[in-house]
Amino acid sequence: MERPNSLSAVLHEIRLAGPIARIDLARRLGLSSAAITKLTARLLAANLIQEVGHAPSAAGRRPILLALNGEAFFVIGLDLSWQGLRGAIVSLDGRVLTDRKETRNLFEEEDDREIVGTLVSHVEALVRESGVDRGRLLGVGLVAPGAVSWHQGRMVAPTPPTMSLTRSIRRRPPFDWSHIPLAEELQARTGLPTFVDNNANAAAVAETWFGQHRGAKNLAYVAVGGGIGAGLIINGEPYRGDRGVVAEIGHTTVQVDGPPCRCGNVGCLELFASTVALLDEARRLITEGKAEALGDLAAWKGNLDQLTVEAVYRCAYQGNPACGELVERQVAYLGAGLVNLVNMLGCSLVVLGSREISFPMLEWLCEKVTALVRERAYAAAARYVEVCPSRLGADAFILGAATLVLHPFFDAPERVMGRAA
Ligand SMILES: [Zn+2]
The domain 74-210+396-415 is classified under which CATH number: 1.10.1660.10, 3.60.10.10, 3.30.379.10, 3.30.420.40? 3.30.420.40
Q: In tens digits, what is the pLDDT along the chain, a chain of 421 residues?
A: 334 479 999 999 999 999 999 999 999 999 999 999 999 999 999 999 999 988 887 677 889 999 999 999 999 999 998 889 999 999 999 999 999 999 988 888 888 899 999 999 999 999 999 999 999 999 999 999 888 888 888 887 766 555 554 444 444 544 678 889 999 999 999 999 999 999 999 999 999 999 999 989 999 999 999 889 999 999 999 999 887 788 889 999 999 999 998 888 899 999 999 999 999 999 998 888 776 777 778 788 888 888 999 999 999 999 999 999 999 999 999 999 999 999 999 899 999 999 999 999 999 999 999 999 999 998 888 889 999 999 999 899 999 999 999 999 999 999 888 676 5
How far apart (Å, rounded) are the C-alpha atoms in residues 82 and 246?
Answer: 20
**Given this model, what pLDDT does residue 420 score?**
61
Residue 17 CA to ligand 1 centre (angstroms): 40
Residue 229 CA to ligand 1 centre (angstroms): 11
**Given this model, what pLDDT does residue 421 score?**
56
Residue 93 CA to ligand 1 centre (angstroms): 36
Residue 234 CA to ligand 1 centre (angstroms): 24
Look at residue 10 and give its three-state secondary structure.
helix
Residue 271 CA to ligand 1 centre (angstroms): 8
For the chain, what are the domain ranges?
6-68, 74-210+396-415, 224-391
Those residues with Cβ within 8 angstroms of residue 320's Cβ, 6 or more apart along the chain or in another chain = 293, 294, 295, 296, 297
Residue 264 CA to ligand 1 centre (angstroms): 6
74-210+396-415 against 224-391: fold identical: yes
Residue 266 CA to ligand 1 centre (angstroms): 6
How far apart (Å, rounded) are the C-alpha atoms in residues 211 and 391?
Answer: 6
Residue 259 CA to ligand 1 centre (angstroms): 10
Residue 109 CA to ligand 1 centre (angstroms): 24
Residue 286 CA to ligand 1 centre (angstroms): 27
**What's domain 224-391's superfamily in CATH?**
ATPase, nucleotide binding domain (3.30.420.40)
Residue 11 CA to ligand 1 centre (angstroms): 41
Residue 223 CA to ligand 1 centre (angstroms): 15
Residue 137 CA to ligand 1 centre (angstroms): 39
Residue 37 CA to ligand 1 centre (angstroms): 54
Residue 29 CA to ligand 1 centre (angstroms): 44
Residue 386 CA to ligand 1 centre (angstroms): 26
Could you tell me how many residues make up the chain?
421
The closest of 116, 57, 134 to 419, measured between CA atoms, is 134
How far apart (Å, rounded) are the C-alpha atoms in residues 57 and 89?
Answer: 38
Give the CATH number of domain 6-68.
1.10.10.10
**Given this model, what pLDDT does residue 211 score?**
94
Residue 150 CA to ligand 1 centre (angstroms): 22
Residue 45 CA to ligand 1 centre (angstroms): 52
3-state helix vs strand vs coil in the chain, percent to 5: 45, 20, 35
Residue 326 CA to ligand 1 centre (angstroms): 21
Helix (H) / strand (E) containing 352: strand 349-353
Which string of DSSP letters, residue by residue, matches 170-208?
PPPSPP--TTS-HHHHHHHHHSS-EEEEEHHHHHHHHHH
Residue 178 CA to ligand 1 centre (angstroms): 20
- Looking at this protein, which amino acid is placed at residue 175? F
